[in-house]
């Protein structure tokens, strides 16, 4: 095992911040390349005439998933040292629902609002200000929300672990699902592009 | 879009599958280099923690959510991994946008809505998003993308609900976009 490099002590905290900046450059670059600095491009996903959000997201998930799986299998990456967000199923599902509403109402998510602001979108900047306001409000209400926020096991649970399915099988199923989804996305776009009249 | 004749035409976006592979490789690099994925909403939390701590330090300390971003108090809350990553994302997106002639000061909206209304909706959407991301312990980057690739159970449940929430209300806000 040689990776993750940071966990194996190949560089320290200060260097990890420099690494963060360069990883961020790649992140922002591909977000903007994909068109995700534009609210209209992003929300087209929810009117079915342009499913780029789905395509980019699932291609990225499959790419990174296959990467960590193969690197783990050859014994080069210790997957147990990669941070997993702990599972609190109920708040995460309710949070997802609220976030989805915020996505189509405001036109962005936090990462894409940064890409939008960086390319001059005023609505992206205002959206970012909204995030600050929302975070502050959440923090101030936290004493009342804490009970729900902490509802759940709080253990980092993976799908293979939760259902007792071998890791490789789940990986394979996700790949199949993505390929099927890409095919379906193409069909939907054809159908709804005409309906959008553009 | 009303195309003007003099302006440089913005280049078309990258093929979504190619952009997805690029994004996936950046995410993979993050796993390999620092043992963590991408994120965005956490950086906003760090900034809020920094502001509240500067204005009312005792209040910040007594708030469990904010205190979680302050650490032991010896370092600035801005000295956080996600803050640097998001600064990088800003630079990377700007670079890409300038390169493709897509960087332009404007407000993204449909033809039937005023700029003021669109900005009010953007602000409201941002607030909802922040609430959701705080509850879920991550946003589309930290939960859906990162946790998705790691087969995190909570992340996949989260992702399904994001799409459910967005599709459920899309019809009612379509006036904003078209």
Express each pLDDT in A7-45 by its tens digit: 998 999 999 999 999 999 999 999 999 999 999 999 999
* Nearest alpha-carbon partner for A36 in A61, A53, A57: A53
In a domain, A3, yes or no: no
pLDDT for res A192: 87
Question: What confidence tens digit (pLDDT) does each residue in B114-130 have?
Answer: 999 999 999 999 999 99
pLDDT for res A144: 96
Nearest-10 Cα torsion for B2, B5, B6, B9: 70
Q: SS3 for A121?
A: strand
Q: Which tokens is B128 given?
A: 């909802």
Phi first, then psi: give them for residue B138, nearest 5 degrees: 160, 165
What domain count does chain A have?
Answer: 1
Q: SS3 for A11?
A: coil
Banded model confidence at residue A4, pLDDT cuts 50, 70, 90 = very high
CA distance A70 to chain B (A): 11
In a domain, A50, yes or no: yes
Q: Which residues contact B29 (CB under 8 A, 6 or more apart)?
A: A23, A26
Say if A25 is an interface residue toward chain B (CB within 8 Å). yes
Chain A residue numbers with beta carbons less than 8 Å from the beta carbon of B92 are: 24-32
Burial of A166 (0-12, 13-18, 19+ CB in 10 A): exposed
Burial of A11 (0-12, 13-18, 19+ CB in 10 A): middle
Q: Which tokens is A190 given?
A: 């054809």
Can you tell me the distance from the alpha carbon of A74 to that of A67, in angstroms, rounded to the nearest whole number?
11
Chain A residue numbers with beta carbons less than 8 Å from the beta carbon of B103 are: 118-120
A198 pLDDT exceeds 50?
A: no
Longest dimension (CA), chain A: 56
**Contact (CB<8Å) B103/A95:** no
In a domain, A4, yes or no: no
> What's chain B's Rg over C-alpha atoms?
19
Burial of A81 (0-12, 13-18, 19+ CB in 10 A): middle
In a domain, A7, yes or no: no
B5 pLDDT exceeds 70?
A: no
Q: Left (φ > 0), alpha (ψ -120 to 50) or beta: where does B11 sit?
A: beta
CA distance A12 to chain B (A): 10
- Which of A122-131, A186-195, B15-24, B113-122 comes out lowest in average pLDDT? A186-195
Range of the domain at A133: 13-195
Q: Which tokens is B66 given?
A: 């904010």
B6 pLDDT exceeds 70?
A: no
For chain A, how far is it from start to end, CA to CA, in angstroms?
52
- The whole-number average pLDDT for the span B140-150 is 95
Question: What confidence tens digit (pLDDT) does each residue in B55-110 have?
Answer: 999 999 999 999 999 988 888 999 999 999 999 999 999 999 999 999 999 999 99
The residues pairing with A3 across neighbouring beta strands, listed in sequence order, are A77
pLDDT for res B111: 93
pTM above 0.90, yes or no: yes
Instruction: Please report the residues numbered 125 through 164 in chain A whose beta carbons come closer than 8 angstroms to any beta carbon of chain B.
Output: 126-140, 142-143, 145-146, 148-149, 156-162
Best mutation target among B19, B76, B157 (most A Cβ atoms within 10 Å) is: B19
Q: Which tokens is B32 given?
A: 């390999």
Say if A49 is an interface residue toward chain B (CB within 8 Å). no
**Contact (CB<8Å) B84/A117:** no
DSSP state of A46: G
pLDDT for res A153: 86
Question: What confidence tens digit (pLDDT) does each residue in A59-73 have?
Answer: 999 999 999 999 999
* Nearest alpha-carbon partner for A160 in A38, A72, A42: A72
Phi first, then psi: give them for residue B97, nearest 5 degrees: -65, -40
In a domain, A1, yes or no: no
pLDDT for res B103: 95
CA distance B3 to chain A (A): 14
Q: What is the mean pLDDT of chain A?
A: 95
Can you tell me the distance from the alpha carbon of B96 to that of B85, in angstroms, rounded to the nearest whole number?
16
pLDDT for res A91: 97
- The whole-number average pLDDT for the span A147-157 is 92
Can you tell me the distance from the alpha carbon of B115 to that of A123, in angstroms, rounded to the nearest whole number?
9
B8 pLDDT exceeds 90?
A: no
The Cα-based distances of A3 to A18, A180, B6 in angstroms read 18, 32, 51
Burial of B160 (0-12, 13-18, 19+ CB in 10 A): middle
Can you tell me the distance from the alpha carbon of B67 to that of B73, in angstroms, rounded to the nearest whole number?
9
Phi first, then psi: give them for residue A3, nearest 5 degrees: -125, 155
Q: SS3 for A87?
A: strand
B159 pLDDT exceeds 90?
A: yes
Q: Which residue of A has its CA nearest to B84?
A: A21
């Amino acid at each position: 095992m040689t990776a993750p490099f940071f966990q194996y002590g190949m560089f320290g905290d200060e260097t990890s911040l420099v690494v963060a900046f360069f990883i961020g450059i790649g992140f922002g670059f591909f977000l903007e390349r994909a068109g995700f600095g534009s609210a209209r491009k992003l929300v087209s996903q929810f009117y079915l005439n342009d499913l780029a959000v789905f395509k980019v997201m699932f291609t990225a998930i499959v790419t990174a998933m296959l990467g960590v799986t193969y690197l783990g299998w050859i014994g080069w990456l210790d997957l147990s040292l990669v941070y997993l967000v702990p599972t609190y199923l109920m708040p995460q599902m309710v949070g997802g629902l609220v976030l989805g509403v915020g996505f189509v109402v405001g036109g962005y998510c936090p990462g894409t609002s940064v890409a939008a602001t960086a390319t001059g979108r005023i609505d992206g900047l205002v959206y970012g200000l909204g995030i600050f306001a929302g975070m502050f409000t959440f923090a101030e209400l936290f004493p009342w929300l804490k009970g729900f926020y902490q509802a759940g096991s709080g253990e980092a649970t993976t799908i293979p672990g939760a259902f007792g399915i071998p890791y490789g099988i789940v990986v394979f199923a996700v790949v199949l699902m993505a390929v099927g989804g890409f095919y379906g996305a193409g069909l939907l776009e054809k159908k709804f592009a005409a309906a959008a009249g553009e | 879009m009303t195309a003007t004749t003099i302006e440089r035409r913005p280049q078309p976006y990258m093929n979504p599958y190619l952009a997805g592979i690029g994004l996936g490789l950046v995410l993979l690099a993050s796993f390999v280099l620092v043992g963590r994925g991408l994120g965005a909403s956490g950086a906003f939390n760090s900034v809020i923690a920094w502001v509240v701590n500067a204005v009312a330090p005792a209040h910040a300390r007594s708030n469990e959510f904010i205190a979680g971003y302050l650490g032991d108090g010896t370092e600035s809350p801005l000295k956080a991994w996600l803050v640097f990553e998001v600064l990088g994302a800003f630079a990377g997106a700007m670079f890409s946008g300038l390169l493709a002639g897509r960087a332009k000061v404007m407000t993204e909206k449909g033809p039937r809505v005023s700029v003021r209304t669109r900005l009010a909706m953007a602000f409201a959407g941002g607030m909802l998003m922040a609430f959701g991301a705080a509850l879920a312990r991550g946003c589309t980057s930290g939960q859906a993308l990162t946790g998705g690739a790691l087969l995190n159970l909570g992340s996949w449940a989260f992702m399904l609900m994001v799409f459910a929430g967005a599709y459920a209300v899309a019809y009612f806000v379509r006036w904003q976009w078209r």
